[in-house]
Structure 1
Amino acid sequence: MGRSHLAIRMRIRRHKVFLLCLLGICVISFLHYYKALHNISLLQELSAPSTHLKSLKIFSDIFWNFPAADFRPQQDFHKHSQLKVNVDSNLILKGPPDKKLHERTFVLRDDPTPFFIHTKSGAVCFREGIDMTASASHHRLLQQHHREIKFKDKAINEVEKVVQCPCRQGWHGPHCGIPTIVYHSNLPSKSKVTPRKVPRRVINAININHEFDLLHTRFHELGDVVDVFLVCESNFTAFGDSRTLLFQQMILNGTFDYIKHKILYVFLDHFPDGGRTDGWIADDYLRTYLTKNGMSRLEGLKADDVFIIDDADEIPVRDGILFLKLYDGWTEPVGIHMRKSLYGFYWRQFGTLNVLSACTAAMLFKVYKGDGIYLRRRSYYSMSGFREYENSTGRILVPWAIGSPVHYAGWHCSWCFKPEGIYYKLISAQNGDFPRWGDYSEKRKMSYIKELIRTGGWFDGSAPEYPPSDPKEHMYAPKYLLDNYEKYRYLLENPYATINVKRNGSSFKGVI
């Protein structure tokens, strides 16, 4: 009888152990799922004041090992960061004056701009985001908070937790450094981002053909935020015909002297094998060469620097790129919601173009193999190094996009040229995006192209009804174009419209 009771007790004990283990597995699975949903560190969430989460923290500390801190890549992961560069402090482009543009290298340096200010009360505020009109009264409140905490003998870091900066319209967060296009984005960790002590360096890569007005616009929009522009030009069109190196000539004749110190010129002197038959080979190769050649000529590259690759007709908003530069805590890769336009900013298309455009240098090399075309393809999940890289960061990496379908974070202006520029794009287009309209003689006629611009029609004969747009509307066009309205009028008003439309008390040309 005693043996029977003992056997029963042993079975009960085994069942209890089994049930406890099963419960533990369920709790661990729930915590991991919770972390994946919110894209924040598990231990950070468990540190919340909630009593039940605090109890779960003890369990997770024993069985789970998730780092709570944000990923801090090694500063010397790229071979160029190990180079000892002995140059004048004002020199960024390396190489003697007679050295060819495409052979020079570029030295990346930390941006010394004081983007944040430290108040006497302990607050850290973003200069551009604070409301100066409220600063006087707010300063008195900050001083009062400071006195109360000091009187209670609290630690100085608790002052920063209490102090809030007064934000002007369009800026959010305790430091007033989160722009509206990030605040209303799908970034899960937006409430957890923190200012960096040293800004990231931003690298913007672009291929150029003849989009020079949009290139000027990009440089003026992003010139004080981007640290280096990698601009690639080829002596072949995307179709494979020879072309003049117009951008190189413009650099040498002084056209871009205002931004020349931030341009690293990339020269593609050959056309890829098979590119004439399959235009997508040529299209992909442009971005591959741009990334690999340009990045190999940067010195001092850090793992958490930001790499952004755009087409020439895609212009990100400055504030969104500045956020990537100044804040920690966002995940990657990063897309950008852009306002879509055709022929000019006056033909606004529905919705936004969300282009996956940015990641850290570490992700570029460890996941995308140093090739920007893979970033554009959205194929990170299937890349061989993705899971290893994700594990090294200690975070669940999910894509997000600056902006939203109703909050534009940039502009995509497709076929935005004068008629002569559209003609050149037609004959230069790659042999892959069929139908290739440049192959049709009637589509290349100036009269036909001008009629397309006038009506907003497309080469296939369709004429979509675009919503009416007004140059005064928010995010109509980049500020540089609006500030130089007469010079760029052909992009801001339909040059072939004949009807004057009155809207909001002002008149402008448009087509109904």
Structure 2
Amino acid sequence: MKIRRFKALLFFSVGLCVVSFLHYYKALNQIPMLKELSNSPANLKHLAALSRFLWKEKFTGGHDISKNAAPGVQSQAFLVWRPSGVKSQRPVEDTGMFPQIPPEPSRPMGDLHLRTFQLKEDTTSYFARTKSGRMCFRKGTKTSTKKDNLGESQPKESYASRRALLAVQSGNRSLGPAWNSSVLAKRSVRCRCLQGWHGYHCGIPTVVQHSNLPTKSRLAPREVPRRVINAINVNHELDLLHARFHELADVVDLFLICESNFTAYGARRRLIFFEQLMNGTFDYVRHKILYVFLDHFPEGGKQNGWIADDYLRTFLSKNGLSRVHGARPDDVFIINDADEIPVWEGILFLKLFDGWTEPFGLHLRKSIYGFFWRQLGTLDVLSGCTVGMLFAVYKGNGILLRRREYYSMPDFRSYESNTGHILIPWSIGSPVHEAGWHCSWCFKPEGIYYKLISAQNGDFPRWGDFEEKRKLSYIRELIRTGGWFDGSVSEYPPTDPREHMYAPKYFLDNYDQYEYLLRNLYTEKKDWMVTH
């Protein structure tokens, strides 16, 4: 009897292992080494099926992104978020995938908070054919010799031929065409990459090349770039906003900026960003800004500050996206705090290449009070995904994306199955290749004071409740020493203003204006020069 029970238990265990292996077999095959180990004739059928994980596969439910949509093609109907009280969930048949559901704020901004935004195709010519016949990413390719100069007047290589060439290079047999000897001969031809750029087309930045992306061997350039939507909540981080806009304005198609006339603590506040938006301060990027106004404080936010903190991101993403038209499921959505600034190279990669997985994060260089106090390690923040995943899995709620809880979301497996994508999280950058900056409490003393009294009532201890912590003399001493409000002083690694990722280029280019962020003004005065 004992032997029979042992055999039954053994068979049950083996069966459970087999089922588990089959369930995760597809995910394992995304790693190139494991892919090679399984590359036998008996497994060709499985490998062909696995090729469906590429971004070129069908997005079911009425959307087909197996081919990049041509400019001017309207998006299909999509089920989207509607505010509570709006019961209809019928597909929206308009020029975009989001219905017009404006907020209901009270004055004084006229109709600014009611306006919608039409996403347009990015028609920038990112790739060019060289005189030697290569297709190269313009910003990542050397053009020092006459032989390799990028030919502006050369005919544009067809997307099909580029994909065929990439398929030959990577051994991808799923595309099917028979390549002639002249195409095969180009396998060894590569663009001459500038420092910081990699790959056959010189379009893979270092922050992706040295990331944990498991599908690097399957990356392929797109014919039509994705559009990128960057959503940010703002309080009084105006200098950091300028740095973000100058870093990302050329690659981000739309900035969703949410501002409330309440602080995270629930007190009334001025609309500081709105005032500067209207007086022309941000005119250089205003055509890419959609203003989202939150005119109320969430119920229970006073007692539980995390309710208020979460609600800001929920309102930003749901209400803001409801006023965007023309988005496609494979466009990119990124949500950041105002003090999280990504580098442009990583975001441009997301626009131009297929084959990366989702959701994705960002490894950010950590600083406090200014870029002169660099903290150890990086801040790895889960920051983005495609618009399709945002709505299918997270129901359009940005706070759910930030929480890293997608495996527990009820529609996660359904989305994975419908799209044919293997959802493997990864992060742009690495602990030694930062993909941006996180500058915490990076204000002048008066700005830190304002942040103290505005902080939400949940992240205890709430230092703004202590009168002595709000004194400007005390705050100046914290900046001088790099100390924290609890009296501790951390060990900081040495920094050099000449290092590659010291601070965003906009700050370095305007050193006199932003000296307070680049040099510790409360230590002994030292003469040093910023070079970049």
Would the alpha carbon gap of residues 65 and 234 (structure 1) be closer, same or farther in structure 2, given more than 3 Å must change?
A: closer
Task: Check the 8 A contact 2:511/2:518 in 1, yes or no.
Answer: yes
| Distance (whole Å) between structure 1 residues aligned to residue 47 and residue 20 of structure 2 | 14
- What percentage of residue pairs aligned between the two structures are identical? 62
Counterpart for residue 355 of structure 1: 381
Q: Which residue of 2 aligns with 1:102?
A: 113
Tell me, yes or no, if structure 1 residue 410 matches structure 2 residue 410: no
Residues 251-400 of structure 1: pairs in structure 2 closer than 5 A: 251-400=277-426
2:214 aligned with 1:183, yes or no? no
* Shift in alpha-carbon separation, 1:409–1:139, aligned structure 2, 3 A: closer
Distance 1:107 1:158, change over 3 A: farther
Report the Cα distance in structure 2 between the residues aligned to 1:204 and 1:68, rounded to whole angstroms: 25
Q: Does the residue aligned with 2:371 lie in a helix, a strand or coil?
A: strand
1:55 matched to 2:41? The reply is yes
**Cα distance in structure 2, aligned partners of 1:438 and 1:113:** 47
Q: Provide the rounded CA distance (Å) in 1 between the counterparts of 2:313 and 2:123.
A: 31
Instruction: State the 1:162 CA deviation.
Output: 4.1
How far apart, in 2, do the equivalents of 1:466 and 1:374 lie?
Answer: 33
CA distance in 1: counterparts of 2:146 and 2:285, whole angstroms: 35
Change in 2 beyond 3 A, CA 1:229/1:59: closer
Indicate the SS of the match to 1:292: helix
Letter in 2 for 1:337: H
Query: Counterpart in 1 of 2:27?
Result: 36
Corresponding letter in the other structure for 1:477: A
**Judging changes above 3 Å, is the alpha-carbon distance between structure 1 residues 440 and 189 closer, same or farther for their aligned structure 2 residues?**
same
Query: Do the aligned partners of 1:78 and 1:303 also contact (CA within 8 Å) in 2?
Result: no
1:56 Cα deviation from its structure 2 partner: 1.7
Give the 3 Å change call, closer, same or farther, for CA 160–269 of structure 1 in structure 2. farther
- 1:352 maps to amino acid: T
> What TM-score do the two structures reach when normalised by structure 2?
0.79
* Residue number among 225, 242, 249 corresponding to 1:223 in the alignment: 249
Distance 2:146 2:24 in 1: 43
- Corresponding position of 1:453: 479
* Matched residue count: 454
How far residue 37 of structure 1 moved from its aligned partner, in angstroms, is 2.5
Rounded Cα–Cα distance in structure 1 between residues aligned with 2:126 and 2:296: 42
Structure 2 residue ranges without an equivalent (≥5): 1-13, 64-74, 81-91, 97-108, 152-164, 166-178
CA deviation profile, 1:340-369 (whole Å, cap 9, x unmatched)? 000000000000000000100000000001
Please list, as runs of the form range in 1=range in 2, the aligned pairs for 1:435-450 lying within 5 A after superposition.
Answer: 435-450=461-476
| Corresponding position of 1:123 | 134
Determine whether 1:112 maps to 2:127: no
Are residues 1:234 and 2:260 paired?
Answer: yes
CA contact (8 A) 1:366 1:385 kept: yes
Which residue is 2:144 aligned to?
Answer: 133
In structure 1, runs of 5+ residues without a counterpart are 1-21, 86-97, 141-148
Aligned counterpart, 1:144: none
CA contact under 8 A between 1:121 and 1:159: conserved in structure 2?
Answer: no
Report if aligned partners of 1:453, 1:496 keep a CA contact under 8 Å in 2. yes
Query: 1:174 and 1:410, CA in 2 relative to 1: closer, same or farther beyond 3 A?
Result: same
Q: Which amino acid aligns with 1:365?
A: F
Q: 1:83 aligns with which of 82, 87, 94?
A: 94
The 8 Å contact of residues 121 and 163 in structure 1, kept in 2 or not, is answered as no
Larger Rg computed on CA atoms:
1
Normalised by the length of structure 1, the TM-score is: 0.82
Structure 2 CA distance, aligned partners of 1:29 and 1:443? 54
Is the partner of 2:255 in helix, strand or coil? strand
1:166 is aligned to 192
| Residue number among 470, 481, 498 corresponding to 1:472 in the alignment | 498
Hey, what's the Cα distance between the residues in 1 that align with 2:401 and 2:353? 21
| In structure 1, distance between residues paired with 2:499 and 2:45 | 54
- Judged with a 3 Å threshold, the aligned counterparts in structure 2 of structure 1 residues 341 and 155 are, in CA distance, closer, same or farther, namely same
- SS, match of residue 500 in structure 1: coil
- 1:100–1:382 CA distance, 2 compared to 1 (3 A): same
Q: 1:72 to 1:454 in 2, by over 3 A?
A: farther
Asked whether the 8 Å contact 1:40–1:395 carries over to 2, the reply is no
Question: CA 1:298–1:79 in structure 2 vs 1: closer, same or farther (change >3 Å)?
Answer: farther
Amino acid at match of 2:112: L
Would the alpha carbon gap of residues 179 and 263 (structure 1) be closer, same or farther in structure 2, given more than 3 Å must change?
Answer: same
CA distance in 2, matches of 1:180, 1:274: 45
Q: Name the CA distance, whole Å, in 2 between partners of 1:135 and 1:310.
A: 43
CA distance in 1: counterparts of 2:150 and 2:291, whole angstroms: 47
CA shift digits 1:471-510 (9 cap, x unpaired)? 1111000000000011000000001011538xxxx579xx
Judged with a 3 Å threshold, the aligned counterparts in structure 2 of structure 1 residues 204 and 276 are, in CA distance, closer, same or farther, namely same
- Aligned CA-pair RMSD: 3.0
Structure holding more helix per residue? 1
